[in-house]
Amino acid sequence: MPAPASGPILVVNAGSSSVKVILFDAQLCQTLSGAVTEIGSGATFTLNGASNACAATDHKSAVRLILNELATRDMPPQSFAAAAHRVVHGGAKLTAPRRITPEIRAEIVACTALAPIHNPANLAAIDALSSLTPDLQQFASFDTAFHTTNPPEATTYPLPKKWRGRGLQRYGFHGISYSALVKNHPGPLPKRLLALHLGNGASLCAIHNGCSVATTMGYSPVSGLSMGSRVGDIDALAVLEIAKSEGIEVTSTLLNNASGLMGLAGENDMRSLMRAGTPDADFAISHFCYWAVRHAGSMVGAMGGLDGIAFTGGIGENAPEIRERILNELNWLGVRLDYDANRNNLSTLHGASSNISVHIVAAREERQIAQDALELM
């Protein structure tokens, strides 16, 4: 039997060693959150902030554990309207949220080579729910989809046709976050909006008339800004030099997990770095802000000007010092910061004399995924 359309929506975000869930009611209000982390060894189950050790050897056992616990709270799977998944890579074909059918699942599988760390984990959670609750309809929102409006000049690497035909292009990520930002931006949406998703993963997006026209991430989430542990932009021959010495696997780990703030200061938490006050920490912060400003110029160029700026993500929403450093370097664009508003993390940050609106927009990725599913139903 189909689940009731008025039932809750289970939003699932699966990583390589974790399954995180948030339950939303039919009005898209969050009612519960939980996660199983460190799947495979020393797993921990957390529900609404309370944590306990658990036995979860794979994604299926983690999903089963979550469903069983929800059932004890009078929320059995048959009461859900749907499950909705974050899928990192939709490739060139999955350009909008979709109901998961065998055909759509096959397309997600086809994108695995483009996101070998992320898509297999997303698929593991989809398959686990299909096995455990076969009557539950499932939906997927894709992190790459928002950027499919980029022009070909922005997405095409100048490689021979043979390699372009193998999917080597700029895709961009954080698309669910940017889609939510557009829908939740306070007041009229600026025609030319510079959006900064700043967190452990960080990117910028040029949004023109509500559509992405350029973004800093490319073929993978490694490129663009320096991030918590990702390297950001690096010359391809420098990567080849590392790979020649260390091999492909070690190089991949280095670029994804040991670079960025981690590589510069041995720490990837911005709050810890700001408290540290060491030369390495100060330089890592300066490096992060410098490249955010430098890439901002590129995004403004892609839009032909600027009308508004919006910050989102953990750092973007909660680090006034970082926002201030970035915005002060954008004074030449006509940005005038209200320092008191910024210090207090208010939603509107621009002063009365500013030619550019500046806002904080709370990240609502999970709610956006639930909304995508609700609209498709």
One-letter amino acid at 160 equals P
d(CA 261, CA 361): 24
Burial classification of residue 322, based on how many CB atoms lie within 10 Å of its CB (0-12 exposed, 13-18 middle, 19 or more buried)? buried
* CA–CA distance, 82 with 70 (Å, rounded to integer): 14
Taking alpha carbons only, the member of 259, 278, 258, 261 closest to residue 270 is 261
- Which residues contact residue 108 at a Cβ distance below 8 angstroms, ignoring those fewer than 6 apart? 87, 90, 94, 100, 119, 122, 123, 126, 140
Of 127, 143, 235, 338, which one is the catalytic site residue? 143
- Would you call 186 helix, strand, or coil by DSSP? coil
Separation CA 229–CA 25 (nearest Å): 35
The CB density around residue 278, as the number of other CB atoms within 10 Å, is: 13
Q: Point out which residues pair with 171 in neighbouring strands.
A: none
143 included as an active-site residue: yes
Tokens 């009365």 locate to 352
Residues with catalytic function: 143
